[in-house]
Amino acid sequence: MADKASARTIEPRAWQAVLEHVERKLLGGELAPGDRLPGERQLAADLGVGRSSVREALRVLEVLGLIRTHTGSGPTSGAIIIATPVAA
């Protein structure tokens, strides 16, 4: 059991990998306020994680005030960047 616990602390959870991916793109200038993130399916496929992990990362980004999300379809749906993270 100790091996499993130590492995969990070393390897980031899948949602954290998604979060870090989006933050890197924001800090690197690849994404800016007003840009849209790819859809859940696309992010999950690109990063090799499940859609639930993408949803969790999007919730965290929304709580941090970096994105705004809208459900449904059309021009206002999906995740839109509204701010960039401040480097500590």
Count the alpha carbons within 13 Å of 73 in the hemisphere toward its beta carbon: 0
Instruction: Indicate the pLDDT class of residue 77, thresholds 50, 70 and 90.
Output: confident
3 part of a folded domain: no
In the block, tokens 């639930």 appear at 52
5 part of a folded domain: no
How far is 52 from 86, CA to CA, in rounded Å? 26
7 part of a folded domain: no
Domain containing 17 equals 13-81
6 part of a folded domain: no
- pLDDT score, position 83: 87
pLDDT digits (tens, 9 = 90+) for 10-27: 567 899 999 999 999 998
73 part of a folded domain: yes
- Structural domain total, the chain: 1
pLDDT digits (tens, 9 = 90+) for 33-62: 999 999 999 999 999 999 999 999 999 999
Cα-based distances in Å from 50 to 15, 70, 75: 9, 20, 25
Does the pLDDT value for residue 87 go beyond 80? no
How far is 14 from 59, CA to CA, in rounded Å? 14
70 part of a folded domain: yes
Report the Cα–Cα distance between both ends of the chain, in Å, rounded: 35
